[in-house]
Amino acid sequence: MKISRNFFIYLQGRSTTALINAFISMAILYWFVNVLDNPVLMGIYSFTITAPTLFFALLAGPIADTVSKKKIIVNCDVINGFFGIAIGLLFYFIKNTYLVFIILIIIANAKSIIGQLFDSALMSAFPLMVRKEDLIQANSLKSTVSSITSIVSSSVKGFIVAMLNLPYLFFIQGGVLFFSAFTETFFKFKDPALENKKEKEPPAIREEKENIPENGKDGNCCAEKTGRQAKNKKMKQWLYAMKQGFFYIKKDKTLLTLFFIIGTQTIFWGLFMPTFAFYFMKDLGFSAGLYGIFFALLQGGCILGNSIALLLSKKKYYVNLFIALIFLSNILIPVIGFLKNAWLILGAGFFFGFLGQNNSVVIESIVQHKVDEKYYGRVLSVFDFFRYDLEFIGRSLITVFFLIFRNYQSILIIAGVLYYAASIAVVLVAGTKKYITRAILEINR
């Protein structure tokens, strides 16, 4: 696979931004623990920066499909760069911690919404940057860089946060985002959103457009009315585009099945991971440092797992290997609930990352390959919603499960079994094996 200029810019932008974001997340956590010393406020902060993305995620896709993706990517990075500097100035000059907290929530909320729009545009632009037949290898390389970044940030973020004060980290974040925006101006890819403007508009939008009066016809209120109607027309266009995206997904059985499986996995993963933290550190009595090593090994396994897709995706036996790895990797999730030895748990985490990462890469590649370019933003934003945002539901279920079972190990095993059931459904649900097999073969032509 040849690494193009677009792909290189994409990788360097995502890796540097992810690195500084990891440092800031750690610094914010320290600020809540050591300065505010209030877990309730920390919960409020986490909810306020997560909730908007849940509601805005589905609208961001239609916007990315109807507006220039390159403009969205560059402008969002510039805006969030200014937000980063603004938060840095906030921490530097204002000493009242509760006032800082209130303003921080407002800015972080806006930053989160802008970030969601950025992610949708960049995610829908990614398949336009690589050849269809290289999707599996490109996603594998992208995932490898992400895992390496995660390991590096986990290794040094404690030292970086101790060395630099919070305001300076936000100043650096602003500079990184400005630099990313500059490099992203060199993106060159064929954007279907620009071509779609030439297509016929939906009837509701066209009728609204025809009814907008010209300047001067309706007196002083004309300009105000025209602006309001233009905004309504744009919103109708986005809602119509969202509706088109849902219809597109509904008529494709492969996408419907994959979205159902991914969504179910995400929910039970959201239940599994926080429960595992309590089981590992409270019931088994292992340290937080060992818990961190578990995640480092998981990411290390993911890096090696990416090599499977990178090296073997073009082989004839790859389809059968993919199906076998679904069974082998995901059985480790319920097994972890029965383990009590730290080394066995760490090993299970490593092998889950090693064997399971290939499946994640392939499923993402199938979705990207099957979707028409005109619908990338709408469909991939829904896919991202099922793949990440539904974890919020799983985390919310912890309270309900704990009230029923009152035992972390029981919840862990149940969550693991449900996760495994959702995983093997990729193969067992009616017709899925045929759909996935055909999709992989189409990619590798």
Delimit the domains of the chain by residue range.
1-195, 200-244, 252-445
Q: What is the pLDDT of residue 174?
A: 92
- What pTM, to 2 d.p., does this model score? 0.72
- Per residue in 195-254, pLDDT (tens digit) is 655 454 444 444 444 444 444 444 455 555 555 556 666 777 777 777 887 888 888 777
pLDDT at residue 299 above 50? yes
Mean pLDDT of the chain: 78
Q: Return all residues near 64 (Cβ < 8 A) that are at least 6 apart.
A: 72, 117, 120, 121, 124, 193, 376, 377, 378, 381
pLDDT at residue 78 above 90? yes
Query: Average pLDDT of 279-285?
Result: 83
Q: What is the pLDDT of residue 213?
A: 47
pLDDT at residue 90 above 60? yes
The CATH number, out of the four listed (1.20.1250, 1.25.40, 1.10.540, 3.30.230), of the domain defined by the range 1-195: 1.20.1250
Query: Average pLDDT of 381-403?
Result: 76
Q: Return all residues near 379 (Cβ < 8 A) that are at least 6 apart.
A: 61, 245, 248, 249, 255, 367, 371
- Per residue in 407-425, pLDDT (tens digit) is 888 888 888 888 888 777 7
Select the more confidently predicted residue: 134 or 9: 9
Angle at 43 between CA 38 and CA 46, to 5 degrees: 125
Q: Residues of the chain with pLDDT > 90: what percent? A: 10
Q: What is the pLDDT of residue 212?
A: 45
Query: Average pLDDT of 285-308?
Result: 80
Q: What is the pLDDT of residue 217?
A: 47
Q: What is the pLDDT of residue 1?
A: 60
Which CATH superfamily includes the segment(s) 252-445?
A: MFS general substrate transporter like domains (1.20.1250.20)
Query: Average pLDDT of 123-146?
Result: 82
Query: Average pLDDT of 119-147?
Result: 83
Range of 85-89, 104-108, 142-146 with top mean pLDDT? 85-89
pLDDT at residue 116 above 90? no
The band of 130, judged by pLDDT with boundaries at 50, 70 and 90, is confident
Range of 97-106, 218-227, 254-263, 284-293 with top mean pLDDT? 97-106
Range of 51-55, 145-149, 314-318 with top mean pLDDT? 145-149
Query: Average pLDDT of 291-301?
Result: 81
- Per residue in 318-366, pLDDT (tens digit) is 777 777 777 788 888 889 889 889 899 999 988 888 877 777 777 777 7
